[in-house]
């Protein structure tokens, strides 16, 4: 249950119930489309008349549209309702240490264009370059198509309400008001979020029924490790917007240096860079972000390392399995703290899932406090689905479908 806050609340007005029912109708249509008014009324346990009013309001708001007419044994033929996604577009931006990913998609998450380029670290240059790319991307769009905003995910702490990057060590951005800068350069609404949290949000939005009311943790392993926590269907942000920074939990105080400046963080053992460092015998402690970027430029990625592991390179296999073991140990800690219904895993390392699953699982068994907890379902998101870009797109598309805030 969510306790009612008796010091800060808003009283339900006559329109509250209608707002809630309209949102419910929109979500039921999204999950069961195409659906007739009669079926919608049945699902919502409301009369046809009341549902028709809600549907009319949603049509006027251009959130849904009427599609084909169905067959009926007798009486009036039903018209099927659909959520309007086609001409509603969003730009998704995933800024990483090595590369920036830029995608144009519609509200159903369908990809219409993608660009991948080297990350620009200077904020003014980044903004200028992004605005140019966005304009080019939106140019050839058909009439009627509307881009409703830009969703940006960053590897670091973000105050999502103000759009300010509080601290993104990998980018060297601290206290940067990236939202207003991008909005000013592109003339579009912008939402900014931490990458792990955006992935969790996308999971809530796209998987629909499967995650409704559930508690889960999303772990995205890339140049660093991003995490998002959802408790009882709600994304947790925390007082200072840093909830879920599991990537920086200490594994060993004398361990390798992490990009956050501390030593021995979980991500310094299990991120892509940690895996590459293990393979090449680099000392992570002595590598500056710039230095590491130089190495990345030599274009040997963790995916190449996985290919080598598959073709019999024992050193590559042991480097990736060691990361798998640390991954499992960290997951066990997450299980012991949150005890979620499931953990979602994403990132290039999941391409080697068949090579590391056993190692990850046995590390979980080693540290999870009960046997049942060690069996927490792990759900793998393939890297080619671009979960972080999906998360960035969800920042624009998902709020339309969110439950209204009441009480
Ligand atoms: Zn750290």
Is a pLDDT exceeding 60 seen at residue 209?
no
Average pLDDT over residues 218-232: 92
CA distances from 352 to 198, 274, 332 (A): 24, 15, 20
DSSP 322-353: HHHHHHHHHHHHHHHHH--SEEEEEEGGGGGH
Q: How confident is the model at residue 149 (pLDDT cuts 50, 70, 90)?
A: very high
Instruction: Give the distance (Å) from ligand 1 centre to CA of residue 75.
Output: 66
What's this model's pTM, rounded to 2 decimal places? 0.84
By three-state DSSP, how is residue 148 classified? strand
Residue whose C-alpha is closest to residue 149's, from 165, 159, 163 = 163
Q: Using one digit for the tens of pLDDT, what is the confidence trace for 328-349?
A: 999 999 999 999 999 999 999 9
Distance in angstroms (rounded) separating the CA atoms of residues 331 and 326: 8
- The Å distance, Cα 256 to ligand 1 centre, comes to 10
Res. 325: pLDDT tops 70: yes
Helices (H) and strands (E) in the chain, counts: 14, 16
User: Pick from 347, 403, 394: which is nearest to 153 by CA?
Assistant: 394
Nearest partner of 191 among 389, 396, 370, judged by Cα: 396
Give the pLDDT confidence score for residue 356 in this predicted structure. 97
Task: Please give the average per-residue pLDDT across 27-37, as a whole number.
Answer: 86
Q: Tell how far the Cα of 265 is from the centroid of ligand 1, in angstroms.
A: 5
* Candidate from 101-115, 200-214, 247-261, 268-282 with smallest mean pLDDT: 200-214
At 208 the pLDDT is: 59
Cα–Cα distance for residue pair 218/173, rounded to 1 Å: 24
Closest among 146, 164, 5 to 63, alpha carbons compared: 146
> For 125-141, what is each residue's pLDDT tens digit?
999 999 999 999 998 77
Distance from the alpha carbon of residue 89 to the mean position of ligand 1, in angstroms: 35
Beta strand 79-83 pairing with 64-69: antiparallel
For residue 262, report the distance from its CA to the centre of ligand 1, in Å.
5
Q: Tokens 């966005």 belong to which residue?
A: 134
What rounded mean pLDDT belongs to the chain? 88
258 CA from centroid of ligand 1 (Å): 5
215 CB neighbour count, 10 Å cutoff: 17
The answer, yes or no, to whether residue 407 has pLDDT greater than 60, is: no
Position 360 pLDDT exceeds 60: yes
Domains assigned to the chain: 14-83 (1.10.10.10), 88-201+390-401 (3.30.420.40), 212-383 (3.30.420.40)
Ligand 1 centre distance from Cα of residue 272 (Å): 14
For 1-31, the pLDDT digits (tens) are 677 888 888 888 878 888 888 888 888 888 8
Tell me the CA–centroid distance for residue 407 and ligand 1, in Å: 38
CA atoms within 13 A on the CB side of 234: 9
Distance (angstroms) between ligand 1 centre and the Cα of 71 equals: 60
Least confident of 203-212, 244-253, 260-269, 286-295: 286-295
Distance 204 CA to ligand 1 centre (A): 27
Q: What is the pLDDT of residue 130?
A: 97
CB 221 within 8 A of CB 345: yes
Distance, in Å, from the CA atom of 110 to the CA atom of 86, rounded to the nearest integer, reads: 9
């Amino acid at each position: 249950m969510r306790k009612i806050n008796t010091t800060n609340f808003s009283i339900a007005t006559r329109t509250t119930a209608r707002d809630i029912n309209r949102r419910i109708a929109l979500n039921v249509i999204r999950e069961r489309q195409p659906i007739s008014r009669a079926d919608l009324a049945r699902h919502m346990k409301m009369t046809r008349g009341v549902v028709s009013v809600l549907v009319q309001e949603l049509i006027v708001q251009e959130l849904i549209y009427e599609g084909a007419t169905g067959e009926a044994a007798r009486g009036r033929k039903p018209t099927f309702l659909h959520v309007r996604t086609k001409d509603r577009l969003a730009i998704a931006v995933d800024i990483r240490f090595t590369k920036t990913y830029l995608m144009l998609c519609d509200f159903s998450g369908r990809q219409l264009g993608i660009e991948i380029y080297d990350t620009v670290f200077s904020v003014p240059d980044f903004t200028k370059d992004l605005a140019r790319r966005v304009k080019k991307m939106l140019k050839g769009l058909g009439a009627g198509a509307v881009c409703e905003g830009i969703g940006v995910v960053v590897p670091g702490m973000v105050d999502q309400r103000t759009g300010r990057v509080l601290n993104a060590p990998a980018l060297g951005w601290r206290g940067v008001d990236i939202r207003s800068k991008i909005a000013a350069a592109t003339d579009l609404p912008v939402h900014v979020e931490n990458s792990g949290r955006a992935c969790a949000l996308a999971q809530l939005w796209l998987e629909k029924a499967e995650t409704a009311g559930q508690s889960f943790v999303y772990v995205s392993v890339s140049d660093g490790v991003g995490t998002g926590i959802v408790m009882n269907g709600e994304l947790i942000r925390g007082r200072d917007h840093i909830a879920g920074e599991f990537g920086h939990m200490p594994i060993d105080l004398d361990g390798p240096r992490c990009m956050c400046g501390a030593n021995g963080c979980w991500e310094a053992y299990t991120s892509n860079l940690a895996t590459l460092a293990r393979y090449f015998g680099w000392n992570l402690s002595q590598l500056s972000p710039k230095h590491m970027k130089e190495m990345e430029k030599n274009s040997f990625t963790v995916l190449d390392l996985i290919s080598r592991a598959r073709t019999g390179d024992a050193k590559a296999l042991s480097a990736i399995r060691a990361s798998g073991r640390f991954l499992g140990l960290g997951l066990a800690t997450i299980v012991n703290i949150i005890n979620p219904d499931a953990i979602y895993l994403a990132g290039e390392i999941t391409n080697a899932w068949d090579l590391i699953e056993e190692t990850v699982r046995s590390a979980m068994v080693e540290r999870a406090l009960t046997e049942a907890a060690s069996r927490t379902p792990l759900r793998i998101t393939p890297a080619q689905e671009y979960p972080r870009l999906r998360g960035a797109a969800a920042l624009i598309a998902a709020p339309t479908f969110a439950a209204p805030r009441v009480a």
